[in-house]
Structure 1
Amino acid sequence: MAETHTRTLDTTGATLRYDVRPGTGTDDRPLLLIGSPMDATGFTTLASHFPDRTVVTYDPRGVGRSERTDGAAESLPEEHADDLARLIEALGSGPVDLFASSGGAVNALALVARRGDLVHTLVAHEPPTAQLLPDREAALEACAGVHATYLREGWGPGMAAFLAVTSRKGPFPADWADEPAPSPAAFGLPTEDDGSRDDPLLGRNIRGCTSYRPDLAALRAAPTRIVVAAGKESEGEFAARAAAAVAEGLGTTLAVFPSHHGGFLGGEFGQHGAPAEFAETLRAVLNDDRD
């Protein structure tokens, strides 16, 4: 790929770092790849499958190279949406195509509800919002429980609780809190508390992300083409069920992508999906409505 250019952008309460990889093709519409709280490094493999497109990645506020400057302990999708709007405007290219995964997909839905003029096509991959699920109350309590476990016991127990929530198949029962707490050791996680409480996932983003209610009316009225997607192997899991609920609320068909929640990963963070197949599917979806 062409040389990557890293840029800095000051927004309300944060200083963002983002990367621009110029493409070799004739398509002048940038492809913005976002996650949350995953930083830009998580899209290294996926970006490599789009050498013809100008690809933009960034570190969300409070993650990686992007610092929060307001001292806030937690981040909200509305804040991330404002950051994204400013970033797209700074590109000066007009509307972008946007692939957003996990918490990034929640933030992208918040962006399009407010500023649909900035996004041509949004592919929202497994947005983990609990608000549209039939087991909404139990799901929200489970996610809040992850945050509480982290604050009370530290990263290992908090991450074990997170993995138990995200890997559960099917609805959360009303008595989920009575289930035995998952053991960090069972997941190969540390059991000792290092005292830190600033983890981007468990501390800063999980409550705001999972409790965000998409504005379905605003999304349906937006000029943006919205495709909600979930991984084939994710069926029945929290984020995939949430994606199906969002698609239903928008009156669209859920797109099925290869692999799982991290299907685009090619070894980043020690995780592997099916990045070549994932990129092929993403390209087909993006090309399905070219002007």
Structure 2
Amino acid sequence: MTTPTTGSLRVDGATLHYEVRGQGPLLLLVPGGAGGAASFDAIADDLAAEYTVATYDPRGISRSPLDDPEVEQRVPEHAEDALRVLDLLSSGEPARVCGISSGAIAALHLLITHPERVARLVAHEPPLVEVLPDVAEHRALLARVRATFEAEGLMPAMSVFAAGLKKDGDTNEPEQKQKQKQKQKQKQKPEQKPAPEQAPEPEIKLPPQAAARAEQTMANLPYFIGRIVPGFMSYAPDVDRLAALSDRLVLACGQDSRGELPYRPAALLAERLGTELRHFPGGHTGLTTHPDEFGAALRKALHAAA
């Protein structure tokens, strides 16, 4: 893996860590979730053969500390951060941009507010629940996630959130009903004999770099669930403005995440804008589970839109 050139960029309320690889037209990769710039490590080198690839840790994530760790996070500020990175690395020239999940929401706002700076945008599964017809259900989910986080802590809140993203998850059903259904399913299962004892599975040790990345992602989760999720999933884009800019927008979803919550907004927007919905390998986390195929699909999407 190529060692990138790194730097720090002072923005309003934070200091951003950014990384640059390769030569050619600028391609800005905007990470989502709790991963940060490192989430693109598996595809950045291949893309750097054709592009100057820039990515960064969003404010509050990993190596981009906030001046005030308790401040609420809002999409326009994160989009402004992306603009500042573009200004630093390619002043005046429009760039290609790819945003993943919450990073795709920030990238869409960048396109809406500064279209002159974006030549093409690939937005992979932006969870824009405010565009969905059943938005009230998803607002209720976010309220439950926040209440669970405050009352019970991180992992219970993550469980509520993850269940709400799944296609078979009922985000409205009271917890008691869910437990009753689970008990009924267990009763309906045929009685099984206890499995013979098996030797414990060997402990899997990650390579040092992967282990450090996983540890950092875990450290980012409280900020993600407490600040990013409520701030980003309550964002409503200007759909009319996106329609006017649809010639430079590529909406993408994971081919394995049909029916899941993050898939639905991109599919609905593609239909409303009259554009093709592209399918990338894997599901919502295809960048992690299928990096080579994901990188190839991204390159193809960027070329097709050019």
| Identity of matched residues, % | 37
Gap runs ≥5 in structure 1: 184-195, 266-272
Deviations 1:223-264 (A, max 9, x none): 860011100000000000121122223221211111111111
For 1:26-41, list aligned pairs within 5 A.
28-37=24-33, 38-41=35-38
Whether 1:51 aligns to 2:74 is no
Unaligned runs of 5+ in 2: 183-218
Q: Is the 8 A contact 2:127 2:233 kept in 1?
A: yes
**In structure 2, distance between residues paired with 1:243 and 1:135:** 15
Residue 87 of structure 2 aligns with which residue? 89
Greater mean alpha carbon deviation, residues 43-52 or residues 105-114: 43-52
> Which structure carries more helix by proportion?
2
Equivalent residues in 2 for 1:120-159 (5 A)?
A: 120-159=119-158
Query: SS of the counterpart of 1:84?
Result: helix
Q: Is 1:241–2:264 an aligned residue pair? A: yes
What whole-Å deviation, never above 9, does each CA across 1:51-79 have from its counterpart, x for those lacking one?
Answer: 31211110000110111114443211111
Alignment correspondent of 2:97: 98
Between stretches 237-246 and 248-257, larger displacement belongs to: 248-257
TM-score (norm 1): 0.84
More divergent stretch after superposition (92-101 vs 11-20): 92-101
RMSD of the alignment, in Å? 2.3
CA distance in 2 between partners of 1:178 and 1:239 (Å): 26
Check whether the contact 1:13–1:68 (CA below 8 A) recurs between aligned residues. yes
Q: How far 1:176 moved relative to its partner?
A: 5.9
Maintained 8 Å contact 1:7/1:19: yes
The TM-score with structure 2 as length reference comes to 0.80
| Cα distance in 1 for residues equivalent to 2:123 and 2:259 | 17
Query: Which structure 2 residues correspond to residues 215-254 of structure 1 after superposition, within 5 A?
Result: 215-222=238-245, 225-254=248-277
1:212 corresponds to: 235
In the other structure, the counterpart of 1:191 is none
Give the letter aligned to residue 213 of structure 1.
Answer: A
Deviation at residue 92 of structure 1 after TM alignment: 2.4
Structure 2: how far apart are the matches of 1:100 and 1:253? 17
Change (3 A) 1:201 1:71: closer
Q: Using the TM superposition, name which of 204-213 and 89-98 deviates more.
A: 89-98
Indicate the SS of the match to 2:262. helix
Aligned to 1:17: 17
Q: Per-residue deviation at 1:174? A: 5.0
Look up the equivalent residue of 1:7 and give its one-letter code: G
Per the alignment, residue 261 of structure 1 pairs with 284
Which has the greater radius of gyration? Answer: 2
Deviates more, 1:231-240 or 1:68-77: 68-77
Q: Deviations over 1:197-231 (max 9, x none)?
A: 98121111101111111111222233860011100
- Gap change, CA 1:276 and 1:221, over 3 Å in 2: same
Aligned-partner Cα distance in 2 for 1:49–1:235 = 28
Q: Distance in 2 between matches of 1:251 and 1:261?
A: 23
Instruction: Give the conservation status (yes or no) of the 8 Å contact 1:34–1:99.
Output: yes
Q: Distance in 1 between matches of 2:220 and 2:59?
A: 16
